[in-house]
Amino acid sequence: MKILVLVKEVPDAAVAKSIGSDGTIDRSGEKALNPYDTHALEAAVVIKEGGADVSEIVAVTVGPDSASRTLQGAVSRGADRSIHLSDEGLAGSDVVATGYALAELIKRESPELVLLGQQSDDGGSYAVGSVVGEFLGQPALSQVVKLDLTGDVITAERQAEYGYDTVEVKLPAIISVGDAINEPRYPSLKAIMGAKKKPVEKLTLADAGIDAGKVGTAGSGVNCSDFQAPAQKSGGTIITDEDTAATVEQIVAWLDERKLV
Amino acid sequence: MANILVYALAHEGQINKNSKGAISKAAELAAELGGSADVVLVGTDVAGIGDQAGAVGASTVYTVDAPEGIAATAIDAIAALVDAKGYDYVLFGGGLLGFEIGAGLAARIGGGVTVEVTDIKVDGGKLVAERPIFGDTLLSYSHYKSKGIIVARTNAFEVKETGGTATVEAFDAPIGAAAGQVTLKVRGEQRGADVNIEDASILVTGGRGLGNAENFSVADALAAALGTGSAVAATRAVVDAGWFPYAGQIGQTGKSVAPKLYVGLGVSGAIQHKVGMQASENVLAINKDENAPIFEFADFGVVGDLHKIAPALTEAIKAKKG
Ligand SMILES: Cc1cc2nc3c(=O)[nH]c(=O)nc-3n(C[C@H](O)[C@H](O)[C@H](O)COP(=O)(O)OP(=O)(O)OC[C@H]3O[C@@H](n4cnc5c(N)ncnc54)[C@H](O)[C@@H]3O)c2cc1C
Ligand SMILES: Nc1ncnc2c1ncn2[C@@H]1O[C@H](COP(=O)(O)O)[C@@H](O)[C@H]1O
């Protein structure tokens, strides 16, 4: 069984996010692997370690050239090789266009299972998995926190609108995992060094045979603009605990003022 | 003129509140656009509940007899309806299925999709959807080239009872192969005890920062000190981990609450949690990370270790109450 894991490079969580002059997310500044995707990589490794016949784990990303270091970091978490689609023509892609490009990359590999993270840390829409599934004609499930594989059937559990659902899915399928599914392990130094030697397939739209008219601004059905700040709420009082007795006194005074104690 | 189709989520014979809110919003927008606001219900037991959608503003309700709770099935049904009746927009009241169906549908019918929408306006005969981004610090507006798929944020739209009636019609939709690969074994399992957080006037909410299930005793003690009307609640992270019952979860896939006082202990304040508690009158947060999003909307925030502060606060409140 071949498993593809979709990973994304996002701005580091500590970096303030903003919109650039071109109306898209400003992607300068420190970058990191989307933290939610480490759970998808770990889930792939757990399936392999669990004794399933996994022939390879392949990390796949759509993103600028600079995402290659992040992709290598993803590989160090247990992938055998990686695929990186990078092309100017992808700029401005909405989630349907991004999902289309990912689906085209997946078609070239025909994996039995595709794993993703629960959301992108930078304005995630929890939607890429469902878009990919649709373009591949395969079922997609999101927010899965328990996953058991028996033969070619996955039993998945996830919290939905009314409580927990248990769903059986026959492979091939697309599964986005929730962050409670596992505790991702840190890669060993050996794995980090080893990742540099794993094969990377770097592709442009033309290399991958992707129709440039279906991605980028031209291929996107939605465009976002008119960014503006929301109505300002009066800010709260934020204090830092240095002397706990004094901190507690301030909290009690605040509660008391509002007749809450 | 443009017509809007609303996917209404229904379970055990009831259309959910967020879906009703979406229907009411669609009716208001359709009146402005000069079109109609119709509804699609998917389920094996929905044939008789179309009147619930009529009562909040739907004109025509299509019922599709197919299993509920599976996105692939609903995508097939809605795509067939959009094709047959020519809707310009499809609106969802949120929920996990709303995201899954909305995204899949946009790919299927060649539309644009926006999730977590907090408002929709008509501009030049077209719908424009408002979505807060970057932890609600900026608003972005979605414009659609052709069809628009709009998935609302939890509690974004108010339910408005019109007392109207809808025409209810069964719609036969072909269900495709992907849906055939999926079997829903259990729907809506209630994990853990049946705790009540909706009637509490004070909620002490425990998040992943508590560290483990046993440490919920810190939250219990603080709630006990705060006195009558206090209860303990939780985030999805700790419910998924099995530290707290699902019935006590606040947020998008949990409960919506509006207590006089909300206390967050080790809660980061993710949007999906915030949508269930932002109607709280007073918000107190204790979190060791000064960059935690909860400090953006806390009325009183303390940057520090909850394990030091919360027990001391419990003692101080007890002492004050005597
Ligand atoms: C489709 C979807 C639906 C969702 N539905 C919900 C929902 O209904 N409800 C919900 O709550 N979430 C929901 N989520 C998940 C949500 O995005 C967050 O992941 C979740 O709310 C985080 O829970 P948390 O705050 O407990 O954990 P974390 O985000 O991990 O935060 C823990 C916090 O504790 C702090 N901390 C750690 N140790 C200490 C200490 N000693 N003292 C003080 N502070 C400490 C940390 O600084 C951190 O900010 C949903 C997500 C998705 C994608
Ligand atoms: N550009 C991308 N390249 C590869 N994977 C992606 C990309 N964008 C999103 N994903 C995957 O889709 C998941 C959900 O993202 P989103 O729908 O943007 O919230 C992420 O956790 C990733 O696993």
User: Beta strand A153-159 with A113-116: parallel, antiparallel or unpaired?
Assistant: unpaired
Q: Report CB contact under 8 Å: A238, B95.
A: no
Per the structure block, which two tokens stand in for B91? 């609106």
DSSP B65: -
pLDDT digits (tens, 9 = 90+) for A6-65: 999 998 876 666 676 666 666 677 899 999 999 999 999 999 999 999 999 999 999 999
How far is the C-alpha of B107 from the C-alpha of A114, rounded, in Å? Answer: 18
Q: What is the pTM of this model?
A: 0.95
Query: Nearest 5°: phi and psi at B172?
Result: -95, 115
Q: What pLDDT shows up at residue B170?
A: 97
Residues of chain B with pLDDT under 50: none
Q: What is the 3-state secondary structure (H, E, C) of chain A?
A: CEEEEECCEEECCCCCCCECCCCCECCCCCEEECHHHHHHHHHHHHHHHCCCCCCEEEEEEECCHHHHHHHHHHHCCCCCEEEEECCHHHCCCCHHHHHHHHHHHHHHHCCCEEEECCCCCCCCCCCHHHHHHHHHCCCEEEEEEEEEEECCEEEEEEECCCCEEEEEEECCEEEEECCCCCCCCCCCHHHHHHHCCCCEEEECHHHHCCCHHHCCCCCCCEEEEEEECCCCCCCCEEEECCCHHHHHHHHHHHHHHCCCC
Q: Up-side HSE of residue B92: CA atoms within 13 Å toward CB?
A: 27
Q: Which two tokens stand for residue A45?
A: 């490794």
Q: Contact at 8 Å (CB) between B304 and B264?
A: no
Q: Is B80 on the interface with A (CB under 8 A)?
A: no
Chain-centroid distance of CA A63 in Å reads 12
Calculate how far, in angstroms, residue B150's C-alpha sits from the geometric centre of ligand 2.
20
C-alpha count within 13 angstroms, C-beta hemisphere, residue A56: 13
For residue A221, give how far its alpha carbon lies from the nearest alpha carbon of chain B (Å): 4
ipTM above 0.85, yes or no: yes
- Virtual torsion, Cα A136, A138, A141, A145, nearest 10 deg: -100
Structure tokens at A27: 């992607």
Q: Residue A96: is its pLDDT beyond 70? A: yes
A109-168 residues touching B, CB cutoff 8 A: 123, 125-131, 133-135, 137-143, 145, 155, 158-168
B187 touches chain A (CB under 8 A): yes
Number of neighbouring beta carbons within 10 Å of residue B16: 17
CA A221–ligand 1 middle distance (angstroms): 32
Q: What is the pLDDT of residues B245-293, one digit of tens each?
A: 999 999 999 999 999 999 999 999 999 999 999 999 999 999 999 999 9
Q: Which atom of ligand 1 is nearest to the CA of B208?
A: 26
A15 touches chain B (CB under 8 A): no
**pLDDT tens across B69-100, in order?**
999 999 999 999 999 999 999 999 988 999 99
